[in-house]
């Protein structure tokens, strides 16, 4: 506790001598704070499930296939590859810091991470399985049965337990300690002059109206193509698909900009390959302005300061299938 | 050092009082001994490459896709899924303890792990890329360029460096401390009576003629279907494909039985779904005998004692692509 008080005093000291956000943060972006998981055994089980391709019909695709924790929680392709190489209709959003989102999926059709986790398993173009078959597989694996029973105290295991465990694991996937957060917390030297100029421009030109909060986004739905049409080869109508309200057409959940350096390509259609492209397009279609090359460079430099500590993941060892476990069917 | 001597004395003591292999092992199987890697920075680089799907045309398939370190270094499907869902011609062998193999691939066409590592990258039905394109991608990623230069002291990076780093990582993927190894090292209580009976049967009926050494296999080529024809839907002729010697037809590298509990399905065609099936078939086609259900159960129980400590893998964080990095082409 003494150490903690001293650390705070040091931070306060830093604020006193330099241009930095104070510990009583009045910035529109808040630092990410990691909170310990409620149930670490459930998290460990959820991690196994997240990495287990037996939740797919092929035995080849796991949650981590498209939300790859080596690659910012994304797959870094325009649209995901699903069962039998199906081409996904939309760019896979990052799972990192997804617990901060107001809802899940680009159109917000899942209220929370638990509701989201069941989607891809049963989507014919993603994992190509069904909840029933996934549960059958897990119930046939002795070590999983034991582990679910230990965690949930209720047998037999079911899809609610599966998706809850995955969601609890995903809640741990937060990325604190970005350089920008250090700056927010009072370390004036955490940003270069160019990065700070980029942040001022990001605030001053209106990006921050949508990209704010701890996740620098994720907390509202906004129209893609607000001041100029956004041309896309995606047929998704966004939030409208959920609400069927005419006014929700082309509204999408504002993506988090945390770790955006790692989560290329950008937008729901993955059409922006680089941050430079993305900033350019956002300026034009959302703000009605063209950023100069210098301004673009400043904003991109700022965005790269949002890369935080990536989750420290020890690869799980998955329990082996039993003799009666239904086998994957990749080619059937 | 004192502790080590005491530990050895304890082991010797155990040998004195019970039926167990001695520390001067005369068994046909030797325990796995982990040796520290020659160059830990090269290993760390190789780990990144092993997990990096940008070595494939699609940006979706990495070495770990088919040699999944969560699943005994295999993909647990009969034949692997490759670029655009190509169906592989053969079962993916485990990468665990592969450094003990006399050669790599079922037909031994690669002399060592380095030679093997280049194969899948350029195979149209696996990663679907080329060495030139893979190197172009890596050379365009600033953090990789820095890391290769630090490790190899020679620029620009090339495919030899890529495959050497992957091979050096793979050499660390050994699995010591199986219960069977503990028994070999003198711990009489490490095996149950059934497991020990299984080992005696394994030795006594001739399995050990091919499955011996530290990897319990991997050190010779043998005919599949030695005493009775092995019926298979695989068209592979095994070692013959490399030597073109008539006498090598249907000869395959004897697979390691280390971690065989995790590496299902079995045989070069993946036709045996369970250990029970595999033991049954091997008895018939290699030894000309039918194991009873009890005998089969004993051998299977013994085989499960060969599961060692799985590699402790902290998932690497991959360096992001640069603005000029060629993008994956999953659907082209």
pLDDT score of B3? 38
pLDDT score of A13? 33
DSSP output for A284-321: IIIIS-PPPHHHHHHHHHHHGGG--PPP--BPPPPPPP
Chain A interface with B: residues with Cβ < 8 Å: 51-54, 58-60, 65, 68-72, 75-77, 81, 84-85, 87, 261-262, 264-265, 273-274, 276, 310, 312-318, 320-321, 323, 327-328, 330-331
Any domain includes B6 = no
pLDDT score of B21? 57
> A74, A89, A323: which to substitute to probe chain B, counting the most B Cβ within 10 Å?
A323
Chain A residues with CB under 8 Å of B323 CB are 273-274, 276
pLDDT tens digits, A39-81: 999 999 999 999 999 999 999 999 999 999 999 999 999 999 9
- For residue A166, what are the CA distances in angstroms to A46, A63, A122, A263, B197? 4, 9, 15, 21, 41
Q: Kindly determine whether residue A321 and residue B76, on different chains, have CB atoms separated by under 8 Å.
A: yes
Q: Is B11 a residue whose pLDDT tops 70?
A: no
Any domain includes A331 = no
**Tokens for A89?**
């209709």
Chain A residues with CB under 8 Å of B261 CB are 320
pLDDT bucket at A20, cuts 50 / 70 / 90? low
pLDDT score of A76? 98
Give chain A's domain count.
Answer: 2
Residue that finishes a domain, picked among B171, B194, B223: B171
Q: What average pLDDT does the segment B132-155 reach?
A: 98
Q: Are residues A115 and A158 in the same domain?
A: yes
Q: Kindly determine whether residue B328 and residue A77, on different chains, have CB atoms separated by under 8 Å.
A: yes
Q: Are residues A144 and A225 in the same domain?
A: no
Q: Is A19 a residue whose pLDDT tops 80?
A: no
Catalytic-role residue among B27, B44, B126, B332: B126
Chain A residues with CB under 8 Å of B52 CB are 70
For A20-24, A64-68, A219-223, B251-255, which range has the lowest pLDDT when averaged over its residues?
A: A20-24
Q: What average pLDDT does the segment B45-66 reach?
A: 98
Chain A nearest-CA distance from B169, in A, is: 15
Residue B241 falls in the annotated catalytic set: no
Q: Dihedral, CA atoms, B132, A76, A263, A316, nearest 10 degrees? A: -100
Distance, in Å, from the CA atom of A306 to the CA atom of A175, rounded to the nearest integer, reads 9
> CB under 8 Å to B97, separation ≥6 — which residues?
B32, B173, B174, B175, B214, B215, B218, B256, B258, B259
Any domain includes A95 = yes
pLDDT score of B278? 98
For B15-29, B36-50, B312-326, which range has the lowest pLDDT when averaged over its residues?
A: B15-29
Q: Are residues A206 and A126 in the same domain?
A: no
Q: Are residues A185 and A273 in the same domain?
A: yes
pLDDT score of A38? 87
pLDDT bucket at B64, cuts 50 / 70 / 90? very high
Rounded to 5 degrees, φ, ψ at A68 are -70, 120
pLDDT score of B107? 96
pLDDT bucket at A11, cuts 50 / 70 / 90? very low
How many interchain CB pairs under 8 A, A with B?
A: 91
Catalytic-role residue among A27, A44, A126, A332: A126
pLDDT tens digits, B161-208: 999 999 999 999 999 999 999 999 999 999 999 999 999 999 999 999
Q: Is B238 a residue whose pLDDT tops 50?
A: yes
Residue that finishes a domain, picked among A155, A171, A187: A171
Chain B residues with CB under 8 Å of A69 CB are 315
Q: Is A196 a residue whose pLDDT tops 60?
A: yes
Any domain includes B9 = no
Q: What average pLDDT does the segment A292-315 reach?
A: 98
Any domain includes A26 = yes
Q: What average pLDDT does the segment A181-195 reach?
A: 97
Q: Is B8 a residue whose pLDDT tops 90?
A: no
Any domain includes B265 = yes
Q: Are residues A24 and A106 in the same domain?
A: no
Q: Which of A262, A317, A320 sits opposite B320 (nearest CB)?
A: A262
pLDDT score of B19? 53
Chain A residue closest to B87 (CA)?
A331
**Eight-state DSSP code of residue B283:** I
Chain A nearest-CA distance from B85, in A, is: 6
Distance, in Å, from the CA atom of A221 to the CA atom of A119, rounded to the nearest integer, reads 20
Chain B residues with CB under 8 Å of A72 CB are 320
Q: Is A197 a residue whose pLDDT tops 90?
A: yes
Q: Kindly determine whether residue B77 and residue A59, on different chains, have CB atoms separated by under 8 Å.
A: yes
Q: Are residues A283 and A270 in the same domain?
A: yes
pLDDT score of A21? 57
pLDDT tens digits, A236-271: 999 999 999 999 999 999 999 999 999 999 999 999
Any domain includes A47 = yes
Q: Are residues A298 and A182 in the same domain?
A: yes
Distance, in Å, from the CA atom of B321 to the CA atom of B315, rounded to the nearest integer, reads 18
Q: What is the CATH number of the domain that holds B133?
A: 1.10.760.10
Q: Are residues A213 and A166 in the same domain?
A: no
Could you tell me the residue range of the domain that residue B55 belongs to? 40-171
pLDDT score of B38? 87
Q: Is A23 a residue whose pLDDT tops 90?
A: no
Q: Are residues A114 and A215 in the same domain?
A: no
DSSP output for B112-179: SHHHHHHHHHH-TTTT---HHHHHHHHHT-HHHHHHHHHHHS-SS--HHHHHHHHHHHHHT------H
Residue that finishes a domain, picked among A139, A171, A203: A171
Instruction: Select the more confidently predicted residue: A284 or A9.
Output: A284
> CB under 8 Å to A49, separation ≥6 — which residues?
A55, A63, A162, A165, A166, A169
Any domain includes B146 = yes
Instruction: Answer yes or no: is the ipTM higher than 0.85.
Output: yes
Using the CB atoms, write b or e for B190-212: b if 16+ within 10 Å.
bbeeebbbbbebbbebebbebbb
Q: Are residues B147 and B211 in the same domain?
A: no
Q: What is the mean pLDDT of chain B?
A: 93
Of chain A, the percentage scoring pLDDT greater than 70 comes to 92
What pTM was estimated for this model as a whole?
0.93
Of chain B, the percentage scoring pLDDT greater than 90 comes to 91
Q: Is B74 a residue whose pLDDT tops 50?
A: yes
Q: Are residues A166 and A186 in the same domain?
A: no
> B92, B317, B329, B331: which to substitute to probe chain A, counting the most A Cβ within 10 Å?
B317
Chain A residue closest to B50 (CA)?
A70
Q: Are residues B157 and B185 in the same domain?
A: no
pLDDT score of A9? 35
Chain A nearest-CA distance from B315, in A, is: 6
Q: What is the mean pLDDT of chain A?
A: 93
């Amino acid at each position: 506790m003494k150490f903690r008080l001293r650390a705070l005093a040091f931070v306060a000291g830093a604020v006193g001598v330099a241009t930095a956000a104070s510990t009583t943060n009045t910035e529109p972006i808040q630092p990410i704070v990691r909170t310990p998981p409620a149930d670490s055994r459930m998290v460990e089980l959820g991690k196994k499930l997240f990495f287990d391709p037996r939740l797919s019909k092929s035995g080849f695709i796991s949650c981590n296939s498209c939300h790859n924790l080596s690659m910012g929680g994304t797959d870094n392709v325009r649209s995901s590859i699903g069962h039998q190489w199906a081409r996904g209709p939309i760019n896979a959003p990052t799972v990192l810091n997804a617990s901060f989102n107001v809802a899940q999926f680009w159109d917000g059709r899942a209220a929370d991470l638990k509701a989201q986790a069941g989607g891809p398993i049963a989507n014919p173009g993603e994992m190509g399985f069904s909840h029933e078959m996934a549960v059958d597989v897990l119930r046939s694996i002795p070590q999983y049965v034991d582990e679910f029973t230990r965690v949930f105290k209720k047998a037999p295991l079911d899809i609610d337990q599966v998706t809850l465990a995955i969601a609890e694991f995903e809640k741990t996937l937060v990325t604190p300690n970005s350089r920008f957060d250090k700056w927010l917390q009072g370390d004036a030297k955490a940003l270069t002059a160019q990065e700070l100029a980029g942040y001022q421009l990001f605030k001053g030109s209106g990006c921050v109206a949508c990209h704010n909060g701890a996740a620098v986004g994720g907390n509202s739905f906004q129209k893609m193509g607000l001041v100029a049409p956004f041309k896309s080869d995606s047929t998704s109508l966004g939030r409208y698909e959920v609400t069927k309200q005419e006014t929700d057409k082309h509204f999408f959940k504002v993506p988090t900009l945390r770790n955006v350096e790692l989560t290329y390509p950008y937008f729901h259609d993955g059409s922006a390959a680089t941050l430079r492209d993305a900033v350019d397009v956002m300026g034009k279609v959302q703000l009605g302005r063209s950023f100069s090359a210098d301004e673009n460079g400043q904003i991109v430099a700022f965005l790269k300061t949002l890369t935080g500590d990536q989750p420290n993941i020890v690869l799980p060892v998955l329990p082996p299938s039993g003799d009666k476990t239904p086998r994957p069917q990749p080619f059937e």
